[in-house]
């Protein structure tokens, strides 16, 4: 006869009030009745539903999100979803998803142009008093939101430490059923059109409403957002000083839905054009930092190679490869490409054993793997080493 596990509800309540949900769940798991599904792990070991775009319909069915059974990504169903109803109320308002700990402001804004309207959330650190600060534009992946992406990357926490403004544009479901950025549409791969014009417009609006450090504007993203970060670096190299692409694809990797799935599964079948117009130097280099898990079954890791090739722009660069291990035991290979003057132009991090997820992220957000090196901190480090003369952009 199966006997229910005795649990300490007072201790679970205390942990929940403190926001220590993982520890609370460790207690509560013993109370799940036999015959009911246990919750999937919220950390690195749980299977993930990956979402750079929709999977093709089968037998005339509906489009659905791709599924990567081997990924270690946290998929966004938070521990709170499994808490007893009596404990869920303890999470609000004392345990917001983002930002956390020391907080600046994190408010919603709206930008509109001929291509449409997009809302965005902007983090302003507590130290801001009208001085010029760097700006990072963060582009979420499919099914995500600004709050979710901020929580998973912990970028607001890092912005608070370094004195950064961070903007999080939000995709709308009317533009894509899964709230993916439409990186595979040719109309959304060009300067002054479609979604690139909206993201650039949001960037400029922040520049108009806040004091932004000249030449210190950056863009980064995950998955579909990473693919659009590559598009922004290609089409607006005069606006963004450097880009970060996590588990994404190069600009022009696809031109429609069919080629998108091909690129995701095996890399693009079309050659990449090295874009030099408006780049920072005569070599046409777009300073770029790339992260990609070598167990990514949603976006093939070769796409990370293609982002580096495109950003390199045909320049002659010296390469050095170092290997390391994150504090949580994940090994990685880091390729550093330097120009003739010894400046680091590109970094490519291959994360061994990781799937389609933000490396070193928090399980408070979706599509993260806390085991890997901290992609957010490494991106900020890389970004702050790159600046260029301000322009009208």
Nearest to 234 by CA among 169, 159, 311, 303: 311
Residues 224 and 156 in one domain: yes
Locate 148 and state its tokens. 């979710």
The domain that holds 219 is classified in CATH as: 3.40.50.1820
Residues in the chain: 393
What does the DSSP assignment read for 305-324? HHHHHHHHTT---EEEEEEE
Q: What do you get for the CA distance between the two ends of the chain, in Å?
A: 71
DSSP 3-state of 175: coil
* pLDDT for the residue numbered 64: 40
Domain of 279, in residue numbers: 105-383
In a domain, 393, yes or no: no
Residue 133 lies in a domain: yes
pTM: 0.76
In this structure, is residue 388 part of a structural domain?
A: no
Which position has the token pair 């302003």? 124
- Whether 248 and 373 share a structural domain: yes
Q: Do 112 and 71 fall within a single domain?
A: no
Residue with tokens 């054993």: 353
- Residue 156 belongs to some domain of the structure: yes
389 domain-assigned: no
On whether both 130 and 233 belong to a single domain, the answer is yes
On whether both 174 and 111 belong to a single domain, the answer is yes
Q: Which of 68, 91, 114 is the last residue of a domain?
A: 91
Q: pLDDT averaged over consecutive 10-residue blocks of the chain (393 residues)? A: 47 53 56 38 36 41 40 48 41 42 90 98 98 99 98 98 99 98 97 98 99 97 99 97 98 96 90 47 80 98 97 93 97 97 96 98 98 98 88 49
**Final residue in a domain of this structure, among 60, 91, 122:** 91
Helices (H) and strands (E) in the chain, counts: 10, 12
Residue 101 is predicted with a pLDDT of 56
Task: Kindly report the backbone phi and psi dihedral angles of residue 326, in degrees, each rounded to the nearest multiple of 5, phi listed first.
Answer: -70, 165
CB 184 within 8 A of CB 270: no
Structural domain includes residue 97: no
The C-alpha atoms of residue 39 and residue 42 are separated, in whole angstroms, by: 8
Residue 45 near residue 65, CB atoms below 8 Å: no
Domain end, chosen from 91, 124, 153, is at 91
Q: Quote the CA–CA distance of 131 and 260 in Å, as a whole number.
A: 42
Q: Residue 22 has what pLDDT? A: 56
* Residues 318, 361 within the same domain: yes
For residue 96, being part of any structural domain is answered with no
Q: How many domains does the chain contain in total?
A: 2
Same domain, 117 and 191: yes
Assess contact for 151 and 187: CB atoms under 8 A.
no
């Amino acid at each position: 006869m199966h006997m229910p596990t005795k649990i300490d509800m007072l201790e679970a309540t205390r942990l929940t009030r403190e926001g220590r949900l993982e520890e609370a769940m460790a207690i509560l798991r013993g109370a799940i009745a036999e015959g009911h599904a246990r919750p999937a792990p919220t950390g690195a070991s749980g299977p993930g539903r990956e979402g750079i775009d929709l999977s093709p319909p089968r037998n005339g069915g509906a489009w659905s999100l791709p599924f990567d059974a081997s990924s270690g990504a946290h998929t966004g169903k938070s521990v709170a979803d499994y808490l007893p109803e009596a404990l869920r109320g303890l999470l609000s308002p004392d345990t917001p998803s983002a930002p956390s700990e020391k907080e600046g402001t994190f408010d919603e804004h709206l930008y509109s142009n001929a291509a449409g309207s997009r809302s965005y959330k902007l983090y302003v650190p507590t130290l801001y008093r009208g001085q010029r600060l760097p700006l990072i534009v963060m582009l979420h992946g499919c099914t995500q939101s600004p709050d979710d992406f901020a929580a998973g990357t912990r970028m607001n926490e890092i912005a608070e430490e370094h004195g950064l403004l961070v903007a999080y544009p939000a995709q709308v479901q009317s533009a894509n059923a899964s709230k993916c950025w439409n990186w595979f549409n040719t109309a959304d791969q060009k300067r002054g059109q479609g979604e690139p014009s909206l993201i650039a417009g949001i960037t400029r609006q922040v520049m108009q409403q806040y004091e932004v450090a000249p030449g210190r504007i950056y863009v980064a993203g995950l998955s579909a957002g990473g693919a659009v970060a590559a598009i922004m670096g290609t089409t607006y190299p005069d606006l963004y000083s450097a880009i970060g692409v996590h588990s994404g694809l190069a600009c022009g990797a696809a031109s429609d839905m069919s080629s998108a799935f091909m690129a995701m599964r095996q890399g693009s079948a079309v050659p990449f054009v090295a874009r030099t117009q408006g780049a920072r130097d005569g070599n046409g280099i777009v300073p770029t930092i790339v992260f990609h898990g070598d167990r990514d079954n949603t976006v093939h890791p070769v796409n990370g190679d293609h982002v580096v090739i495109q950003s390199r722009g045909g320049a002659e660069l010296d390469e050095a490869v170092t290997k390391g291990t994150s504090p949580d035991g994940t090994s990685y290979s880091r390729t550093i490409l330097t120009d003739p003057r010894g400046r680091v132009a590109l970094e490519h991090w291959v994360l061994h054993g990781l799937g389609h997820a933000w490396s070193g992220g928090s399980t408070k957000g979706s599509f993260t793997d806390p085991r890997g090196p901290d992609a957010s901190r490494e991106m900020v480090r890389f970004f702050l080493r790159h600046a260029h003369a301000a322009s009208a952009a």
